[in-house]
Amino acid sequence: MWYLLLALPYVGLLWPSWYTRIEPVLWGFPFFYWYQFLWVPISAVLTGVAYLAARRR
């Protein structure tokens, strides 16, 4: 069940047409860029959670 967490970054970045836009801009970065960069730490956390959950079994 915890392995489903690993699919969230895939689903979040699956449709580029959804996040290919400029607004809202964050610290001068268009949405397209900061949305993808946001998934880097989110993916790391989700991977860590899935790893720890799988390790306990």
26, β-bridge pairs: 29
- pTM of the complete model: 0.80
29, β-bridge pairs: 26
Alpha-carbon distance 2 to 14, whole Å? 20
pLDDT tens string 1-57: 788 889 999 999 999 999 999 999 999 999 999 999 999 999 999 999 999 999 887
